[in-house]
Structure formats: C-alpha cells, structure tokens
Structure 1
Amino acid sequence: MARELYVSTDIEADGPAPGLHSMLSFGSAVYDRDKTLIDTFSANLRCLPGAAAHPDTAAWWQTQGEAWIACRQDPEAPEQAMPRYRDWLRRLPGRPVFVGYPASFDFMFIAWYLLRFTGENPFGFSAIDIKTYAMAVLGREYRRTVKHTLPRDWFDDLPHTHVALDDAIEQGALFCNVLRAATRPGAR
C-alpha cells in the first residue's frame, strides 16, 4: 500500500459556504511523516457566476490589503485550475490525506470545487483537522485548544499571512510537529 502524504491545504474565500460564495485562492503543501516538504500547489480563482461575497467576509478582506492583492493576481477559471489540481494530487508519490486548520472549512471548499469542476475528489473522505488532533494529543477540550495555548515548540518560524500557500506551509509544519509529539515515547 502506498504511503500517506499529508496535503496541508489553506483556502481563502469571500464567504462561509462554497457555491453561495467563491473560493478566491488555495494552496497545498505536501509533507511526508518526517516533515519533508515534498511539493506545493497554489492557484487564484475567478469568482463563481451568481455567487456573492458575504458582507462580513468582505469587511474582513478590507483589513487584509496585501493578502487581498495576492489572492486576486492572475485568477484562473475554476474549470482550468481544479483539473490541474486533481492531476497534481494524482501524481503525488503516495496517497493524499487532506490536512487543515480548520479542516471543516477548508475541506468543504476543496471537496465542493473538485467535485463541481472535475467530478471527483482524490482525497475521498480522508481529512485531518489539526485542532482536533492537537486536542487529542494534549487531552484538552476542543474549545480550549487554540493556537496561543499550544506548546511553543510545535510552531516553526513561519509566517501566517492569509496568503493561502504561506498558510498551508505553516500549518503543515505545525501538523508534523503535533504528529511527532503524539508518537514520542511517553506521549499521552
């Protein structure tokens, strides 16, 4: 059986629900279990016809000037970007497992866009939520497991910019550090 590869993925959107709102950009960073960064993929997308930005999200984007500019550079039609992404996932040297923070948000957009524009989702239902995994490793309640309460040594010196690929790389390294902590002798 092929090894698992952890595809840390971050999306940027103009609202909370795919189809009603558009995914503006996404980035994926593929990590091996030992935290080797294998490959990356990113794309900026054109907005969906008939979809509209959510007012609260639009107001938030007004505070994110550089990230907004980055996600609007050279947008592609989803009909072009999503088949390229599907094919990239298929070419990975292992079985892709989606990793997100929060996976419930990012995965729903990626799954919807893959199914809508390619007819398939190479991840299937394989998705790991970093926050839930950290909750289990730390033995804490979910709502008490937030980034500022996680062990400092779980974080690499990587930026969180709201540029999808930057954030995918950052959260992929975080996931690998949690994975290492969970498998360390004496871990919970």
Structure 2
Amino acid sequence: MEALGLDSPWLNKQDKQDTQNKAACGTAAASKEIHPPMSEIYISTDVESDGPIPGPHSMLSFGSAAYTADKQLLSTFSANLHTLPGAEPDPRTAAWWKTQPEAWAACRTDLQDPAHAMKNYVGWLKGLPARPVFVAYPAGFDFLFIYWYLMRFAGESPFSHSALDVKSFAMAMLRLDYRDSTKRAMPRRWFDKLPHTHVALDDAIEQGALFCNMLAENRAGAPGTTPADTTPARTTPPRTPPPGTPR
C-alpha cells in the first residue's frame, strides 16, 4: 500500500495533525537516543594551600573546571581566600612558595572571605546541569581541603563525601602499581598542550582535560596501556609540588 503524504486529499485535518504529532514524537525519541541527558559533570579541582591540612593551615586558592564526559568545558569557578584566623603557614610549604613568586602573587590578589566564597561555590555547583563529581590528582589532598571548607563555611557538600582520584584511575588503565602510576608513566596522548602553572584554575583545566582523555579511551574499550607500549609523558623531571602533597 502506498504511504499517504501530508498533502494527500485522503487525509482530513485531524489525520494530518496526528501524523505530524507522531513524526515530532519520533524525532524527539531519536534525539534522546543520540544525545542522552547528562547524568554527571566532572569537576576537576586544584587547591593551593600554605600547609598539608586545613585548620592549622589555610587553603589559599582553589579552581574548578566543569567538564562533560566528551571534554566540553562548561564553566569554571575560582577564588583566592583570606587565611583562617589563628592558622599559620607550614614552614616547608612557605619555603616552597618562595620558589614560585608568580603563582604566589596570583593567589594573593582579590582575596575573599572563605564563607562568602564557599557559599558561592555551592551555588555554582548546584546550577550545573547534572550531578557534580569531584575529580583531582591526588584527590586525597585537594578534596580534603574542599570538603573541610564546604562543611565549615557552607554547611554542605554537593559532592557528598566522594571524590574521583585520577591517579587511581591511571593505575587501573596502566595496569601498574599505585606508586608507579604517576604522570611520568602516563602516555603522551593523554596530555593536551595546556600550562601547569600552580595557579589553581590553570591546573584544574589541565587536569580536567587529562581526565577526559583517559575517560574517552577507557570508554572506547581500549585494552589498556602497559609499560611496554607507554611513551612517557615527560622527558624532564616535573616541578616539585608543595611539601605534604604527594603526586
């Protein structure tokens, strides 16, 4: 039987409307299949501090970059913070900061009250179009500060108490021991040409791109990377991180 077009004289007005509605529904369904709604957004975050733990020491600056799984950078958030009352810099960390004058200057401008910044941060996270997942390298350091500051100054954590550690993800993909799963062991193809400056937002963006590249390769069904087929990402030693921040 020949299909009837919308301009067929055999279709009355209601038939034409029903046909158009069905076509529209079919298009919407197909669109959903091709572009499924996001279930989560990856919040790559970097923290700069003046010591190894919050409370006795302060978070000086933090930056977050919100990425989709396909590496779309949706939004960013960053803030430089006043130090905590009664807190003191760790001597070793203070000595390290003296070797990074540009990064130090960048994190000591336009200072905000921690309560104001963390409440704004919660608002930013809640305004994103999917649930936020905290991502860091190493998550054990950065999430420690962010979670403490969120609970202390905003009274809640949109991340709950969970964080995704890039180094642990690399361990699984590289099939190496955890201590060996450093950036120097990662293949060059995982790294975009982005700066690592110890300015929180710069490093968060760089780290987020790294994670998304790893995620894409993992989801593509790649068998993983073993030491034999890894081209080292670095040919020179990386910058020394602040004391108390294992990388």
| TM-score interval, smaller chain | over 0.9
Partner Cα separation in structure 2 for residue 40 and residue 62 of structure 1: 28
Partner Cα separation in structure 2 for residue 39 and residue 175 of structure 1: 16
Q: Which has the larger radius of gyration?
A: 2
Indicate yes or no: 2:113 matched with 1:100.
no
Partner Cα separation in structure 1 for residue 149 and residue 89 of structure 2: 17
Q: Secondary structure at the match of 1:171?
A: helix
Q: Could you tell me which residue of structure 2 aligns to residue 71 of structure 1?
A: 107
Q: Which runs of 5+ in 2 are unaligned?
A: 1-36, 225-247
Matches within 5 A, 1:34-183: 34-183=70-219
Compute the RMSD of aligned alpha carbons.
1.0
Q: Could you tell me which residue of structure 1 aligns to residue 65 of structure 2?
A: 29
Partner Cα separation in structure 2 for residue 105 and residue 133 of structure 1: 16
Give identity over the alignment, percent: 62
* 8 Å Cα contact 1:181-1:187 kept in structure 2: no
Moved more, 1-10 or 19-28: 1-10
Question: 1:8 Cα deviation (Å)?
Answer: 0.1
Partner Cα separation in structure 1 for residue 55 and residue 189 of structure 2: 38
Q: Secondary structure at the match of 1:39?
A: strand
Partner Cα separation in structure 2 for residue 89 and residue 8 of structure 1: 12
Match of 1:13 among 49, 58, 68: 49
Partner Cα separation in structure 1 for residue 222 and residue 55 of structure 2: 45
Q: Secondary structure at the match of 2:79?
A: strand
Partner Cα separation in structure 1 for residue 38 and residue 189 of structure 2: 30
Structure with bigger RCO (C-alpha 8 Å, 6+ apart): 1
Q: Which runs of 5+ in 1 are unaligned?
A: none
Partner Cα separation in structure 1 for residue 221 and residue 54 of structure 2: 41
Question: 1:149 Cα deviation (Å)?
Answer: 1.3
Partner Cα separation in structure 2 for residue 114 and residue 184 of structure 1: 35
